[in-house]
Every structure is written in structure tokens, then in C-alpha cells.
């Protein structure tokens, strides 16, 4: 049973049991019970590691339902949600139009294993928004998208080496679970048991926002590099924007050396603008990977690019890639409806709410004199307990993650559910209105002042 102390002013409407002297008992008995039960049958009690709260401590809240920007757990406790299912829920949870689209699709069956019009509709909408994509292939996760994009790049160039950046996450395919060896632009080393040195051998690790580290790789082996893959806004070391000229530099060095540039827009796609990061920054990749938002909360991924490149993929070409549920009619329907609702006004409104949160957090930091920075692009942001801006993974690691763990749990106890790691993005949806943004800021101020 967690006992916490909060000031009334920051109390989110929350069925706390008041026990006097301004302390409250947060009863999470059902979540604790379910977590015990889950750990008997699910590895770590979860189906994706970050959800287990290992980075922040405490018991994951088991969610009973979600609506708009609110989560309700199995103990009946409500939370303002900044996980947003790790990005997909940009419209807010259980949007009625998305639910209707899903219901209508489900009435016609859940999966055919044969083509359907819904796949074409979503493909046309994505291609309309991202002109660098002439043809696309749907898959079932961001990981599938990025691993397939790398296979395509290797086939198209006849080269083996890929370059990624420390701190960027592209899913859990072997080629990406690679850590930097010593020094800059180093040979990769396996970052997980089970990843062979053979897989690591063809991955090079450069430093985000450090173009010289990319040049170092190209100087060493430019004729061997199939692709550079990058999150055009990093969201997996916390939100770290690319600095002016960095993406343009990657575009130029790739073009000059016959290397393909892959923008991993699984997170930024249709999050940071109507046309993703490539529209926002005006830099076109050769291949784009997508996921999250394009499935409206259902399992989805996609990769796409120039028609001549994509025509190498089976059945048009020799590069094999397949998937039982790829182009699933439910995911297509939810994704298409989601994109249809993400019009210019939607992005204007997301910017208003996201800026309000950013400015409120910065005001709380300056008023309290605490050591923290807020970094935001569009409706994704991260508050780092860091004395300096976070430009790369080294900076992100040097932030105070112990303090983030305490902060996270204090926010949770005040009815605000942040992503359970200091290396993640907070996601704002169209349903995060002024009131919940202001309540979030007031909880942050209260914690900074009262929780060491």
C-alpha cells in the first residue's frame, strides 16, 4: 500500500482515502494482485519491458479502460495519460470515429489474408502526405518496418554496413541491438545476449548531432555503407531534436556516396507535423519507416520510398518480406480514420496544448530554481533533470534518472501517468485540454517543491 503526502492544491480528482494530516493512501491492491498473477505467466508480467517500471520502481498500473487523455486503472484510479500507447493515441483514447471505423470493419471480418480496399486507402493517404514515398509496404510493427528497410537498402546497394546513432532505437531486430564500442563512430558490439558478433559486425555507431562522427565512418569505409538510419527527431533517449544542418548533412553525404538514407519515422510520422519530420525539416530520405499513429492503436508498421527501390520487394522483385496480418483491415481502418482526422487544425491545436505544457514546465523550473530542461518538437516532449541541454545519448545518460524515478512515482500518485523512463517521450493528444495541462504543471511544481 503506497502512502504519499500531497498538498491539496495539486490534488487531481482521485479516489484517495484521506487518512488525516494531509496524507493519502493510494490503494493499488488490484494492480498489485494482477501484477503478481501476470508474473507467473508473462515474462516480467508484461509484454514489453519498459512497462514493468524497472526504470522507475513501483507497481505498474493495470489499466481497465481509457478515454480521451485519461487512463483508469483496475483500482478505479484516474490518470492524465502522457504515454499515449507510446505514440499512437494522438487523437486521444477511444475516439468515437475511430471506434466506429473499427466496428464497421470488424463487422466485415477481422482478417482475410487477401487484398482489400482499406490497404489502398491508407497507402494513398500516407503517400499524399509524404511525397518521398511512391510505394509502400505495410507490416505489423515498427521493428518489422525498420528491419525490412535495412534489408532493402542492402539489396539495393549491394553493400552490408549500416550506420545508426547511439541512443536511437529502431526496434529489436539484431542489426539495431548494437552498442557503441569505445570511441566515436565505432564498430558495433552486441547489446543483447543472442545478438551475434556476425550481426554486430555490419553495424556502425555514430554520435547523434555530431556530423564529424558520421564523416569518420564514411572516411573509413564509404564504399561499404548501405544505409544510414536515423530518428529525425530522437524520441528514445528522451526527445532530442536534430540540430540545424544535421539532417541536411546526412542527406548530402549519403547522396554523394551512393548510400541510402532511412528516416525512422515510426514515432515522428504524423506526430510532429502533417507530413512527419521530413516535411517539418524539408529533408527527404530514400526510405521512410512508419508505425504507431498509422495504425490508430492497432498493430502496424510500414516502409516506403521511391518506386524503383520498392519494386525490389517481393513479389515485384527478389527481396523477400512477408506477413500474415500485414495490411490487416482493422488496423488499416483505424489508421486511415486517424489520419483523416489529423488535419491542419488538429496540428494547430496540438501545438497550442504542447506549447502550454512546455511553457508551464519551464515556468515551474524557473520559479523553483530546480535543475531541469524541457525539450520539445511538436506534441512530443521530455523533461530531463539535467543542468544542460541534451544533445546526444551521453548527455541523456548524464541526466538524473534516480530523480526522474522519484518524480515519476510522485506524479503517478498525483494522478499523472508519465512514460516510466527518463529516456522516453511524453505524448500530448488532441484531448489534452487546458485544464489537464494546468493540473499537470501544478503537480510538477508541487513535486519539485516537496519531493527531493
Q: 157 is written with which cell numbers?
A: 546497394
For residue 383, list its beta bridge partners: 374
> Between β-strands 23-26 and 17-18, what pairing exists: parallel, antiparallel or unpaired?
antiparallel
236 binds ligand KE4 (CB under 6 A): yes
Instruction: Return the residues of window 286-315 that contact ligand KE4 according to CB under 6 A.
Output: 291, 301
Nearer to ligand KE4, 401 or 439 (CB): 401
At its nearest, how many Å lie between ligand KE4 and the CB of residue 261?
15
Residue 142 engages ligand KE4 in binding (rule: CB under 6 A): yes
- The rounded distance, in Å, linking the Cα atoms of 35 and 80 is 21
Burial class (CB in 10 A: 0-12, 13-18, 19+), 195: buried
What sign results for the dihedral spanned by CA atoms 90, 91, 95, 97?
negative
Contact between 158 and 227 under an 8 Å Cβ cutoff? The reply is no
d(CA 238, CA 399): 10
Per the annotation, the verdict on 400 as an active-site residue is no
Residues 396-425 that bind ligand KE4 (CB under 6 A): 424
- Cis peptide bond prior to 315, omega within 30° of 0: yes
**Minimum distance from CB of 50 to ligand KE4 (Å)?**
5
How many residues touch ligand KE4 under the rule CB under 6 A: the total is 19
Cell 551475434 sits at which residue? 196
Respond yes or no: is residue 164 known to be catalytic: no
Q: Catalytic one among 164, 292, 337, 445?
A: 292
> Closer CB to ligand KE4, residue 297 or residue 360?
297
Single out the segment in contact with ligand KE4 by CB under 6 A; choices: 117-125, 167-175, 321-329, 345-353.
167-175
Distance CA 102, CA 434 (A): 29
> In the bound complex, what is the minimum distance in angstroms from residue 280's beta carbon to ligand KE4?
15
Judged by CB under 6 A, the residue of 156, 225, 250, 267 near ligand KE4 is 267
Residue 231 lies near ligand KE4 (rule: CB under 6 A): yes
- Distances in whole angstroms, Cα of residue 430 to Cα of each of 25, 315, 333: 32, 39, 20
Note if 292 is an active site residue.
yes
Q: Residue 18 CB, nearest distance to ligand KE4 (Å)?
A: 36
Please choose, from the candidates 149, 186, 111, 76, the residue with its C-alpha nearest in 3D space to the C-alpha of residue 321.
Answer: 149
Q: Is 235 in the site for ligand KE4 (CB under 6 A)?
A: yes
Residues labelled catalytic: 169, 264, 292
Positions touching ligand KE4 (CB under 6 A) are 48, 50, 86, 141-143, 146, 169-171, 231, 235-236, 264, 266-267, 291, 301, 424
Amino acid at each position: 500500500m503506497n502512502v504519499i503526502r500531497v498538498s491539496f492544491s495539486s490534488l487531481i480528482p482521485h479516489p484517495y482515502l484521506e487518512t488525516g494530516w494531509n496524507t493519502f493512501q493510494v490503494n493499488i491492491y488490484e494492480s498489485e494482485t494482477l501484477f503478481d498473477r501476470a508474473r507467473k505467466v508473462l515474462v516480467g508480467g508484461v509484454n514489453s519491458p519498459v512497462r514493468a517500471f524497472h526504470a522507475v520502481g513501483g507497481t505498474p498500473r493495470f489499466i481497465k479502460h481509457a478515454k480521451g487523455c485519461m487512463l483508469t486503472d483496475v483500482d478505479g484510479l484516474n490518470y492524465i495519460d502522457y504515454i499515449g500507447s507510446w505514440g499512437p493515441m494522438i487523437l486521444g483514447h477511444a475516439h468515437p470515429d475511430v471506434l466506429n471505423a473499427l466496428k464497421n470493419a470488424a463487422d466485415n471480418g477481422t482478417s482475410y489474408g487477401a487484398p482489400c480496399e482499406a490497404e489502398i486507402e491508407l497507402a494513398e493517404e500516407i503517400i499524399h502526405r509524404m511525397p518521398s514515398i511512391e510505394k509502400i509496404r505495410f507490416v505489423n510493427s515498427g521493428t518489422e518496418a525498420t528491419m525490412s528497410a535495412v534489408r532493402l537498402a542492402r539489396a539495393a546497394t549491394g553493400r552490408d554496413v549500416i550506420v545508426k546513432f547511439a541512443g536511437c532505437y529502431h526496434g529489436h531486430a539484431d542489426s539495431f541491438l548494437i552498442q557503441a564500442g569505445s570511441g566515436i563512430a565505432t564498430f558495433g558490439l552486441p547489446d543483447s545476449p543472442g545478438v551475434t558478433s556476425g550481426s554486430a559486425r555490419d553495424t556502425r555507431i555514430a554520435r547523434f548531432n555530431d556530423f564529424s562522427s558520421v564523416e569518420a565512418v564514411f572516411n573509413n569505409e564509404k564504399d561499404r555503407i548501405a544505409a544510414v538510419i536515423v530518428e529525425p527527431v530522437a524520441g528514445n533517449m528522451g526527445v532530442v531534436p536534430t540540430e540545424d544542418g544535421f539532417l541536411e548533412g546526412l542527406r548530402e553525404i549519403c547522396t554523394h556516396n551512393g548510400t541510402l538514407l532511412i528516416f525512422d519515422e515510426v514515432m515522428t510520422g504524423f506526430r510532429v507535423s502533417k507530413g512527419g519530420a521530413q516535411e517539418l525539416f524539408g529533408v527527404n530520405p530514400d526510405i521512410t519507416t512508419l508505425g504507431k499513429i498509422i495504425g490508430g492503436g492497432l498493430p502496424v508498421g510500414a516502409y516506403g520510398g521511391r518506386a524503383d527501390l520498392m519494386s525490389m520487394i517481393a513479389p515485384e522483385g527478389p527481396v523477400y518480406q512477408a506477413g500474415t496480418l500485414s495490411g490487416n483491415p482493422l488496423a488499416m481502418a483505424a489508421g486511415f480514420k486517424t489520419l483523416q482526422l489529423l488535419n491542419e487544425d488538429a496540428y494547430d491545436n496540438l501545438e497550442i496544448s504542447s506549447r502550454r505544457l512546455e511553457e508551464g514546465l519551464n515556468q515551474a523550473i524557473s520559479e523553483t530554481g530546480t535543475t531541469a530542461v524541457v525539450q520539445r518538437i511538436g506534441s512530443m516532449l521530455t523533461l530531463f533533470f539535467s543542468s544542460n541541454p541534451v544533445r546526444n545519448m551521453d548527455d541523456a545518460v548524464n541526466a538524473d534518472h534516480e530523480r526522474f524515478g522519484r518524480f515519476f512515482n510522485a506524479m503517478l500518485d498525483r494522478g499523472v501517468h508519465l512514460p516510466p523512463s527518463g529516456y522516453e517521450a511524453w505524448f500530448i493528444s488532441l484531448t489534452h485540454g487546458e485544464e489537464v495541462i494546468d493540473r499537470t504543471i501544478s503537480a510538477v511544481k508541487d513535486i519539485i517543491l516537496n519531493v527531493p
